[in-house]
Structure formats: structure tokens, C-alpha cells
Amino acid sequence: MTKKEYHIPYGRHHVTQEDIAAVQQVLQSAFLTMGPKAKEFEESFASYVGSKYAVTVSNGTAALHLCAMAMKVNSESKVITTALTFAASAN
């Protein structure tokens, strides 16, 4: 395999018919958010990474915020990030 075969392009996604059907199933259910699929994902992800718990959030910014809260980051904390990142990393 060449190095190029390992590259995952940011703007081109691999979406299967199975993925589309799963999304349609949730869209047609009684729960668009916070429903049984969210709980199923949290439990599956926690198991996959070997964690007791996992929590789904709406976006990466919310995830970074929860991480900072879990680490007790406050206005007195010093946090280092890279300059080559999304603004939410530094915010």
C-alpha cells in the first residue's frame, strides 16, 4: 500500500445504504435526540474504549467543554493548544 491509500479526505465521506437506513430509522422514530439510539451508542462506545461511561454531545465544541469541566479547568488554569486548530480548542 502506498502512503496515499492511508489518507482520509476531510471533505469526502463514505456513507453506505445501511448508514442512510439507520439515519432514516431515527428520523422516523419518536426520538430525534436523547433516545434509545443515543444510549445504545454511548454504551457501545464506552465498551469499545474500555470506559465505564460515555456521553454523547451535539458537537466537538461541546465535547471539548465537557473535557475541560472534567479536568476542572477554570479561569486560573493554564491550557496549551496548537495554533493550527479550530478556534473552539482555544476557547
pTM of the shown model: 0.65
Q: Looking at the domain assignment, is residue 36 inside a domain?
A: yes
- Chain centroid to CA 3: 26
Instruction: Give a yes or no: residue 2 inside a domain.
Output: no
pLDDT score of 5 more than 70: no
52 within some domain: yes
Nearest one of 45, 89, 46, 43 to 68, comparing CA atoms: 89
Q: Is residue 4 part of a domain?
A: no
pLDDT tens by residue, 39-63: 999 999 999 999 999 999 988 889 9
Confidence at 8, pLDDT banded by 50, 70, 90: low
Q: Is the pLDDT of residue 1 over 60?
A: no
Residue 3 resides in a domain: no
Domain count, the chain: 1
Full residue range of the structural domain in which residue 84 is found:
14-90
In tens, the pLDDT along 12-36 reads 788 999 999 999 999 999 988 888 9
- In this structure, is residue 70 part of a structural domain? yes
69 in a structural domain: yes
Q: What is the pLDDT of residue 85?
A: 81
Whether residue 47 is contained in a domain is answered as yes
DSSP state of 6: G
Please tell me the predicted confidence (pLDDT) of residue 82.
Answer: 83
Long-range contact pairs involving 70-77 (C-beta distance under 8 Å, separation at least 24): none
